[in-house]
Structure 1
């Protein structure tokens, strides 16, 4: 059965929603030209729902047959429960004349299979709008003022089944796994430290674990797959030490058994960019520090196990089976994506994925999806599917790409990745379109011949005189702009003022005779000393560039020219030192 399972993904563009299955075929299963607001798969991959202006359509993901259409208007957010049994919807809160006695219940929970409306709540903020579910869907919880309220999913009409009251609580999270646990966060108040507490939802009176700390305004909870441990990522709006404009971050580790908790010690200053648990729930990776950032693997006791080195990276994800992982740099970084083998700690390939808005592992643990979405970039929108060896196996280009997602599936539906395989042979490798790298030119200079370039001209486009020009040599007057020529003449005229035209001017001044010292030796003049300092500085820059080459970084043309001139610089420095 495993060899017949084919991954599936869907994307929403200006043409509607498209569902594709692959690899290897990547055939279009369905295409709709309707105007959609958003879509979402259920976490178990059984349903696909999308938002229309006047309704919500729910399909069976395996057959693309419609299951239900909920007649609800102006919905902005939707989200399934873990097994897809329930669907939550959120719309903007509307005030009516009788809002005090009959408030608008803009958060609604529906039964997916029947379309039955089960219950509704009033939820003002869009951030954190939905209820949180246990993995078995037996109960759900929502946060109100100073308490977390729990509901029995089999009997919403009963109302609140239990409450966890805690003064000042601002955030909470339910764990996955067989033992449902709730983690709550209480920020600092009146000199008291912030705190995180863990409770068993069947016994909310006594906490399982407790951790106090300062400098935390908000938190993110990262549970491992089994729900036995949680990483609490804390953040402050202002860094009082002045080291970071974006605030201060820290990471704390807690166990639901209450026998171990600690702060995860990071040995490089700077913010925490990202973290990820391994699917085995026994280890995790943190990307942290000033750029180039550092990536470190920690064990189940938060002890460092392996360091992946320094690079311009801010994202990390394990593959669903846990054998592979990628460490990437998105946002304002170049977009390079390093694929690593966790078993051998060997970097397999670096995939260029610049400007990507999204990057996700395929459920088969063999492919990676990157996408450029319209919300971040208005050009070059599309989807790229990469094999973990770096081969681009499929691509979809669109004028406007709004969102894209894999259909969730269990990782054990595919054979375990026991050994690394070569790039797939059954799919023709798609080459990314080669685009010339342009140079920014101000509006006033557009439409005319450029006066300069960051790259060497192509041989066929260069003239006979310019093709042999030494890099860095000044262009002749005919090749520079009028303004540059005018400035050049001014400099020459100013340089020639005060000189006698009858006396021929040497191209370089004659060296001054050194004044003998008291011991008969000739001291080094200030000009020679300055030259030695400049040459030493240039050789140090070349050493830094060589270190970057050894680390496998990409270099600019000017940097390569500096390395080529190292021998001449050393010869000149040696001559000056002898003199």
Structure 2
């Protein structure tokens, strides 16, 4: 209010200035928005007497989000059998819009006991949907664009496999050819920023860049999808390629992502305020949608934990994915909702590692699918022994457990079929001065999960199941001294370690076998092997010495080579035969092709800079191709999806394999002759080109000479026109003898 005196008093009330009072006592403007209101659906229908109890449950559920406003919960009612009951949904009013958003994250997907999964949405969404025009307007028709088939390479006429290489900045994709050089499919410079990666079934090839990850596929290798995750380091698919997990060591910063993408592409950035600071993202592969982001892992005390990869492990059905907090427990999430299973983690004190069963097993009696399984182990703690446990998911029922003592470490190895689990346990002797290994074998495919034990006198440093085997064969690497050898900064060992390789198989009850157990088949002593690699179809195995400076040996074995000899002697190990042995200097990687017929070994510049390149072998160890490539970094076979044939169909094919083999041999012979004919045709063409060029040069020289003579040029006369005689002496050593003369 202004300052008034007797000389300037206002003549009327309208002239009085109340602006200072209006500012002082102004009421806050009432917000007309309802952004602080959420709708909670799928609630149980209750009578008025239980409405207060349900309200308290909701207050407890949304405690993390914030407080409700006074009388902020409204549950519409309806008459049912003459009684007023709630309709199964509620409107909840929070104090702020931010609290409402937090309530959506906290409550959406929550499972209520004896009810269902809650759906929590903003009230403004409901209002927006109500205002949709009732008159249908057809969207403009978009022209149909046929999508390329992502599994087109499986229809190759010759059933060839593909592999991709990265050398320098160039990515090359090839068809594998056993009898001639690989056929180039496509080649691109700077296709990736770091490395390439296949999806589990080979549908997609991934390239990693500063801005994120790109998927490529189809016959033309077009860009299929892009996932923006700045400075991505790792990526992993779920088993059926529906989901993708990415990790960046740089915490998510939406502004940084926009800067990397630029003004024209910043609309591709899906990160929101909720994602700030997180490092792990889960995406929907088909739509490219960001489903959820997660923070970096933490230790039990809350400090940053060492980042391991993969961050999440997927169940075979893709319904669940889980992450371990070292020493605390396992957090299991549901897909695609990304909600924590039962809204709580599975607490397991001291947990060191876990692994999903790789297949959804079926009940042997009813054929019904059994719950999925997780195996984990915990070390000794105080007076409590170490323990291996098998737990069902989602029920979290303990299926089997085994107590262990004097445990140094343990490793979990699932058989690819999921019917066996081997726990390789490194144990101390009573004196604590040395270590030995026990193999705890859980028969998960059988009722009550019986456990077998294989005791070794030394330490097993490697284990590998044969992927396809009726008697669950496996191979182990064992040594008297489990201490790893010294390595250089690139992880290359300075010297090999003496090891032995042993093969075991499961023997079932029969006339000659009174007790089911795993028995030793054969031991191959005095090896330098540090890697066991089975063919994806079993039977063949490579024993390799990898990442070692002094020794780089490869031994190719057939474990069923001479079954007649094994039958005559009664010793299954007599059928194990070495097919071939060779070396690949500086070898760093080894991989079987999906068919189990070929092996690629490579020397990567990422591990050592000298003599980089790759070699293609057949299953018997015969070298087919060798490529010495400068700055060679990576080579990967393209995976194949699981076979669609039933076991009965596979048995029928194996029974008639000779007739199929005859057709394939004839086809190989035709292709070989065609390749020879093409080579001869090329050589004839080169000779013809040479003769044509020589004739043209001769005619040109003759014309030039005639013109020079016409202009008075005199040809030089040879000083001596006598013939020259050129003799060539060839000496051949017939015999060479050494004598010692005193």
Normalising TM by the smaller chain, what interval? 0.5 to 0.7
Shift of 1:400: 1.7
CA distance in structure 1 between the partners assigned to 2:601 and 2:274 by the alignment: 49
Contact 1:362–1:368 (CA<8 Å) still a contact in 2?
A: yes
| CA distance in structure 2 between the aligned counterparts of 1:126 and 1:237, rounded to whole angstroms | 29
Match of 1:119 among 288, 292, 295: 292
Q: Are positions 1:169 and 2:325 aligned together?
A: no
* 1:106 corresponds to 2:279: yes
For the 8 Å contact 1:295–1:307, the answer to whether it is kept is yes
TM (normalized to structure 1)?
0.66
Offset at 1:297?
1.8
Gap regions ≥5 residues in structure 1: 429-466, 474-579
Residue of structure 2 in register with 1:572 after alignment: none
User: Which residue is equivalent to 1:338?
Assistant: 555
Aligned to 1:253: 441
Residue 386 of structure 1 and its aligned partner are, at CA, apart by 0.6
SS in 2 for 1:402: strand
1:97-496 alignment to 2 at 5 Å? Answer: 104-124=277-297, 125-144=306-325, 146-156=328-338, 163-179=345-361, 180-205=372-397, 207-235=398-426, 241-243=432-434, 250-256=438-444, 257-267=447-457, 269-280=458-469, 282-290=472-480, 292-300=498-506, 301-332=517-548, 334-344=551-561, 345-410=576-641, 426=672
Distance 1:7 1:416 in 2: 21
Tell me how far 1:293 sits from its aligned partner.
2.4
CA separation of 1:202/1:54 partners in 2, compared to 1, >3 Å: closer, same or farther? closer
Tell me, in whole angstroms, the C-alpha distance in 2 between the residues paired with 1:264 and 1:319.
24
Q: Is the 8 A contact 1:385 1:393 kept in 2?
A: yes
CA separation in 2, counterparts of 1:63 and 1:258?
Answer: 51
Q: Is the 8 A contact 1:46 1:62 kept in 2?
A: no
Q: 1:219 to 1:18 in 2, by over 3 A?
A: farther
1:244-268 residue CA offsets vs partner (Å, 9 max, x unmatched): xxx765432222244422332235x
In the alignment, is the contact (CA less than 8 A) between 2:462 and 2:532 conserved in 1?
no
1:74 and 2:231 are equivalent in the alignment: yes
Aligned counterpart in structure 2 of residue 4 of structure 1, from 128, 152, 158: 158
CA distance in 2 between partners of 1:109 and 1:183 (Å): 23
Task: Write out per-residue CA displacement over residues 364-404 of structure 1, whole angstroms, 9 at most, x where no aligned residue.
Answer: 11111100111321111111111123332223332222222
CA separation in 1, counterparts of 2:546 and 2:634? Answer: 17
Consecutive unaligned residues of structure 2, counting only runs of 5 or more, are 1-154, 254-272, 298-305, 362-371, 481-496, 507-516, 562-575, 645-649, 677-736
Conservation of the 8 A alpha-carbon contact between 1:7 and 1:407: yes
Give 1:76 shift: 0.6
Q: Secondary structure at the match of 2:318?
A: coil
1:519-552: CA deviations, max 9, x gaps?
A: xxxxxxxxxxxxxxxxxxxxxxxxxxxxxxxxxx
Asked if the contact 2:235/2:247 (under 8 Å) is kept, the reply is: yes
Larger radius of gyration: 2
Q: Structure 1 307/199 Cα, relative in aligned 2: closer, same or farther at 3 Å?
A: same
Alpha-carbon deviations, 1:420-467, whole Å to 9, x = none?
999x88489xxxxxxxxxxxxxxxxxxxxxxxxxxxxxxxxxxxxxx9
The CA deviation at 1:411 is 7.3
1:309–1:235 CA distance, 2 compared to 1 (3 A): closer
2:229 and 2:248 mapped to 1: Cα distance?
Answer: 10
Residue by residue over 1:165-224, the C-alpha shift from the partner in whole angstroms, topping out at 9 and shown as x without a partner, is 22221221111111321011111212422111001113213x211122234354332111
User: Against the structure 1 CA distance between its residues 388 and 212, is the aligned structure 2 distance closer, same or farther, given a 3 Å change threshold?
Assistant: same
User: How many angstroms apart in 2 are the aligned matches of 1:55 and 1:399?
Assistant: 28
Partner of 1:59: 216
Aligned to 1:50: 207
C-alpha distance in 2 between matches for 1:272 and 1:29: 40
Query: CA separation of 1:137/1:236 partners in 2, compared to 1, >3 Å: closer, same or farther?
Result: same
With over 3 angstroms needed to count, the CA separation of the structure-2 counterparts of 1:198 and 1:155, relative to structure 1, is: same
**CA contact 2:330–2:345 (8 Å) conserved in 1:** yes
Greater helix percent: which structure? 2
* Stretch of structure 1 that moved more, 411-420 or 30-39: 411-420
CA contact (8 A) 2:332 2:340 kept: no
- Once residues 239 and 353 of structure 2 are traced to their aligned partners in structure 1, the CA distance between those partners, rounded to angstroms, is 20
Residue in structure 2 matched with residue 92 of structure 1 by the alignment:
249
Bigger mean CA deviation after superposition, 369-378 or 126-135: 126-135
In the alignment, the residues of structure 2 paired with residue 71 and residue 237 of structure 1 have an alpha-carbon distance, to the nearest angstrom, of 48
- Ranked by relative contact order (alpha carbons within 8 Å, sequence separation 6 or more), the top structure is 1
CA distance in 2, matches of 1:274, 1:165: 29
Scaled by the length of structure 2, what TM-score is found?
Answer: 0.52
Counting matched residue pairs gives 427
